Structure 1
């Protein structure tokens, strides 16, 4: 293909985009969307969001346009909602109006609107969520046997840290194995040894896929998916990772299918397979595509959410050794060295409970929230918003809302302590959203964080390779998720 053909193709593409823009603009002109920066043809608000840190860019725009404003990701308008009161309206007060899952082009390319977490089909979501909550409860989610599994996995993790013999290592490499195994057991009914290649491969794929989705490459894809899909870049590596994870899940489902005992379901996949056989309704959502996608979505979210939070936790505790010392003191007083920590211990450990809440608040794991969509034409804060409009409920603006937290921009457990040093709840604490579409595994995450972190601290002092003041706790990547910079540390037995 010569240069003139390239130019012809380029002009054709631009012309097509302009026609699309001119045809879409009158439609959106009928609505009274919230104010926002003026979008450019084709590019939308790329100029305002191109810096690579979309979170900071959106928060900066909120200073000019207010708590609720509109930005365009390419042709697509998105309503950005900031601040505790406004976000609570979206999640709770008017939750049914914003209950549909919003677009995430990077993941939608693979999930194709199937599965429990990434579907905007409300009937599908209701059927799958009702089943998933019931099934996970049946298999002990939030009960003693799940806690026992986490305790056992935490002890395996401690044994691995002891093998490092006080050398400096990257903690994520170890922590992800433990959190992955907890989900393996719940979803598939088995765990893997820590050096198992399948376990290590899945961990690497999940982390790489989500990191790229949160990077500027992922952000560019969200703005221009039809073009970026065919352009070389890191996002293509992310797509390959997603394909491999999906294929891995399909193979694991097939293994469970071959070993299925209909009278003795052992895990989530078994229960779903049995439900599939019982369903005769052609409108049923219990089929293989939803099984594979639901399993992957629960597994994907559960592993990365917990491992990233725990990895960030250790870094913050080394950054603030006075906080760590108080946690150690409370562990020794309430639990001691002879038994495993359990979730109920937190009620006797107000400072530690406050620290864990503050870690989740401060690291701001999902700063933009997971996008929602309007379920019908609505009027919201004086603006007319059509059905199926995307909404970004900015969780970062809630977790750092100065009207809700006395120390919004610093790491300080006093954000969750009263004047008597007792744990104090805060309604603005929503690290994994809230309302009807809150993270399905929120209770599991809470249990894992407490049991695994406290087991580590019960057994080790934490040693950094640099003084606390030199430790960098700012995120390495900030987009769909916040990720700490890679760091090393040593585990010194207590």
Structure 2
């Protein structure tokens, strides 16, 4: 896929293969754990961003607004703290440009222009169009990351790494004499770009769907409010609290299933000749895993084509996981940030639902739940009212 290869070189985690991919992914998993994934350290960061997000919603005073920028800000600040070691103000010009770059790249990769580029790269590289903007935006992201790396080289304390860049620079030094090491600054750039891009776009899009579904299905919103009111009395939300909130947990899972923002996952490649059912696939054949076919399979879901939290509840109202639930894909290349995304979605969604009732602006009577296809499936732009509870 020529456009992908130019935007994201076959390095880092997402686009790499073989030995390089194994080293980079192993590093990514280890570093996320070291930085507090699954522990109170990172949970506190998410809780703080959730509080700031709620304050920004409150400032709207119940008036109609587009929640996308606020959601982007909260989610991006979590992954920014992980990779860069700091957060941004919502008014920060650099922050806004980073968000804009991410959106532009996602939109271009899913466009007709991208398909044309993949078919005729020798021609499209010389033709002006939206696809050219994607290269400019990727260059901005890379230049910003280079600046951050240089700053980290000068200020980091090797015995106290604070973020992904610190850990990676230490890994470069540690493995510099290893013949088969793939740890270098080029891969560092790609790892940061992979984590920052994937760690912001997908989770914020899922939250956009979440709020849209709450105004589309007010009865479901009411049930979430009721459960949260019974279980909590003002204390902070933790990911472990999902065990005591079966209905809220089911709603979040249904948002991920029904929203299905990564319908065909990330392109894969056969590493050897392979036969599946009656089809023979040659080595190096590109394969797209159709997650949509699983997440909407009537064999596994009570109401596959309807938004229904009962898909994740048993007859007694207890949460029930379904083996066909795989919005993060599956296998050895399952989404690296699945645990982080799950934690963010629970704390952000739970915080918003405890704090606000969401409804349509006055005069608006219909909710458009159809998707816009970019690289991910996104809702049409919308405005809602967030009324403090």
Check the 8 A contact 1:320/1:468 in 2, yes or no.
no
Evaluate the alpha carbon distance shift between residue 418 and residue 219 of structure 1 in structure 2; reply closer, same or farther with a 3 A threshold: farther
Q: Distance in 1 between matches of 2:277 and 2:11?
A: 32
1:241-282, CA deviations, whole angstroms, 9 ceiling, x for partnerless residues? 122112222222222122121111111110100110121123
- Partner residue in 1 for 2:228: 331
Q: Distance in 1 between matches of 2:283 and 2:375?
A: 24
- Partner residue in 1 for 2:360: 464
- Partner residue in 2 for 1:258: 154
Q: Distance in 1 between matches of 2:154 and 2:289?
A: 42
TM-score (norm 2): 0.96
- Partner residue in 2 for 1:444: 340
Q: Distance in 2 between matches of 1:467 and 1:371?
A: 43
Deviation at 1:161, TM superposition (A): 1.2
Q: Distance in 2 between matches of 1:331 and 1:466?
A: 27
Check the 8 A contact 1:368/1:480 in 2, yes or no.
no
- Partner residue in 1 for 2:104: 208
- Partner residue in 2 for 1:248: 144
Q: Distance in 1 between matches of 2:249 and 2:359?
A: 22
1:448-476, CA deviations, whole angstroms, 9 ceiling, x for partnerless residues? 00001110111111121267861101012
- Partner residue in 1 for 2:198: 301
> 2:383 matched to 1:488?
yes
Q: Pairwise mapping of residues 316-465 of structure 1 onto structure 2 (< 5 A)?
A: 316-336=213-233, 338-465=234-361
> 2:115 matched to 1:115?
no
- Partner residue in 2 for 1:196: 92
Evaluate the alpha carbon distance shift between residue 132 and residue 264 of structure 1 in structure 2; reply closer, same or farther with a 3 A threshold: same
Check the 8 A contact 2:106/2:374 in 1, yes or no.
no
Q: Distance in 1 between matches of 2:342 and 2:116?
A: 33
1:340-384, CA deviations, whole angstroms, 9 ceiling, x for partnerless residues? 111111111111111100000111110111111001122332333
Deviation at 1:108, TM superposition (A): 1.4
Check the 8 A contact 1:206/1:304 in 2, yes or no.
yes
1:21-79, CA deviations, whole angstroms, 9 ceiling, x for partnerless residues? xxxxxxxxxxxxxxxxxxxxxxxxxxxxxxxxxxxxxxxxxxxxxxxxxxxxxxxxxxx
1:411-462, CA deviations, whole angstroms, 9 ceiling, x for partnerless residues? 1111111111211111111111011111111000000000011101111111
Deviation at 1:296, TM superposition (A): 0.8
Q: Which SS does the other structure have where 1:112 is aligned?
A: coil
Q: Which structure: larger Rg?
A: 1
Q: Distance in 2 between matches of 1:243 and 1:428?
A: 38
1:287 to 150, 160, 184: 184
- Partner residue in 2 for 1:220: 116
Check the 8 A contact 1:368/1:479 in 2, yes or no.
no
Gaps of 5+ in 1: 1-103
Q: What CA RMSD, in Å, does the superposition of the two structures yield over aligned residues? A: 1.5
- Partner residue in 1 for 2:132: 236
Structure 1, 202-211 or 233-242: larger mean CA deviation? 233-242
Q: Which SS does the other structure have where 1:393 is aligned?
A: coil
Q: Distance in 2 between matches of 1:479 and 1:372?
A: 19
Check the 8 A contact 1:115/1:297 in 2, yes or no.
yes
1:115-150, CA deviations, whole angstroms, 9 ceiling, x for partnerless residues? 111112x10011111111111111111211111110
Deviation at 1:222, TM superposition (A): 3.2
Evaluate the alpha carbon distance shift between residue 467 and residue 355 of structure 1 in structure 2; reply closer, same or farther with a 3 A threshold: farther
Q: Distance in 2 between matches of 1:159 and 1:490?
A: 14
Q: Distance in 2 between matches of 1:358 and 1:216?
A: 30
Q: Which SS does the other structure have where 2:351 is aligned?
A: helix
Structure 1, 217-226 or 242-251: larger mean CA deviation? 217-226
